[in-house]
C-alpha cells in the first residue's frame, strides 16, 4: 500500500491536532522510510518480478527488520518513546506508535503472504488484495480520500499556501499512484531504494502545508 498510509496520516489530525501533519506522515510511513536504507545496506532484499501480483511487480524476498509484525511493534514503541522524551505528550506519543503499527495492518490487507510475523520465523501472512487491481484501487482510494477529507474538514487554510499546498499534495500523490499502476516496472532493486528516499520530500511538503493551516 502507498497512498493509503498517507490517508491514515491525514485522518489522524482529527484525533490529535497538536502534532504536525509531517509528524503524522512520518509515523504512518515510518516503515517505508526505513526500508530503503536497509535495502541499500544489504540487510533486506526485494526483487523486481512483474506478475508477482496483479497490482505490484515487487517480490519482497526478505524484510524482517522493517516489515515483520514484531519488528514494526518495536519500531512503534521506539517512535512513540522518542516523541514522548522530546515533547512529554503521552496522547500524541501513543497515537504515533499506533500510526507506525497501522502501516503493517494496511500492508497485511494488500500483500500476498510475504509479511513475516517474527524476524526469525518463516511464518508469513498477507490477505492478497494486490491480486486484484480493482479491489486494490478501491480499498486504497477509499482510505486516502477519506483521510484527506477528514484533514480538510478539521483544519482550515490560513492563506492560499495552505489551500493550494494541500490540494496540490493530494493531486500529486494521486498522480504518483496512477503512475505506479500503469507505468513500467522499476529497473532494479537499487532504483526502488533511491526512489523511496523521495518520500522524505512528501514529509517536508506536509510540514509546509500544516504551517499554513489551522485546526478547527
Are the CB atoms for 81 and 56 separated by under 8 Å? Answer: no
Average pLDDT over residues 12-21: 96
CA gap 8, 26 in Å, rounded: 11
| pLDDT tens profile 30-40 | 999 999 999 99
| DSSP-assigned beta bridge partners for residue 216 | none
Mapped onto helix, strand or coil, the DSSP state of residue 126 is coil
Q: What is the pLDDT of residue 153?
A: 96
| pLDDT tens profile 124-174 | 999 999 999 999 999 999 999 999 999 999 999 999 999 999 999 999 999
Q: What is the DSSP letter of 123?
A: -
* Residue 73 binned pLDDT confidence (cut-offs 50, 70, 90): very high
Cβ atoms < 10 Å from Cβ of 116: 23
Nearest to 25 by CA among 44, 8, 37: 8
* Residue 193 binned pLDDT confidence (cut-offs 50, 70, 90): very high
pTM of the full structure = 0.95
What torsion do the CA atoms of 146, 141, 91, 65 make, to the nearest 10 degrees? 180
Amino acid at each position: 500500500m502507498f497512498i493509503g498510509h498517507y490517508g491514515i496520516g491525514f485522518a489522524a489530525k482529527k484525533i490529535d491536532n497538536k502534532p504536525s501533519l509531517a509528524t503524522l506522515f512520518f509515523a504512518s510511513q515510518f516503515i517505508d522510510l526505513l526500508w530503503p536504507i536497509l535495502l541499500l545496506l544489504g540487510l533486506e532484499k526485494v526483487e523486481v518480478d512483474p506478475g508477482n501480483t496483479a497490482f505490484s511487480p515487487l517480490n519482497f524476498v526478505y524484510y524482517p527488520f522493517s516489515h515483520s509484525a514484531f519488528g514494526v511493534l518495536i519500531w512503534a514503541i521506539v517512535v512513540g518513546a522518542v516523541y514522548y522524551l522530546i515533547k512529554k505528550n503521552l496522547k500524541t506519543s501513543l497515537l504515533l506508535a499506533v500510526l507506525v503499527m497501522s502501516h503493517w495492518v494496511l500492508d497485511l490487507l494488500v500483500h500476498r503472504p510475504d509479511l513475516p510475523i517474527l524476524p526469525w520465523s518463516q511464518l508469513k501472512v498477507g490477505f492478497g488484495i494486490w491480486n486484484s487491481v480493482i479491489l486494490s484501487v478501491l480499498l486504497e482510494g477509499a482510505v486516502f480520500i477519506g483521510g484527506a477529507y477528514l484533514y480538510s474538514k478539521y483544519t482550515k487554510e490560513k492563506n492560499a499556501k495552505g489551500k493550494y499546498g494541500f490540494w496540490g499534495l493530494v493531486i500529486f500523490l494521486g498522480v504518483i499512484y496512477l503512475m505506479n499502476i500503469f507505468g513500467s516496472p522499476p529497473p532494479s532493486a537499487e532504483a526502488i531504494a533511491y526512489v523511496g528516499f523521495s518520500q522524505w520530500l512528501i514529509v517536508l511538503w506536509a510540514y509546509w502545508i500544516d504551517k499554513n493551516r489551522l485546526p478547527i
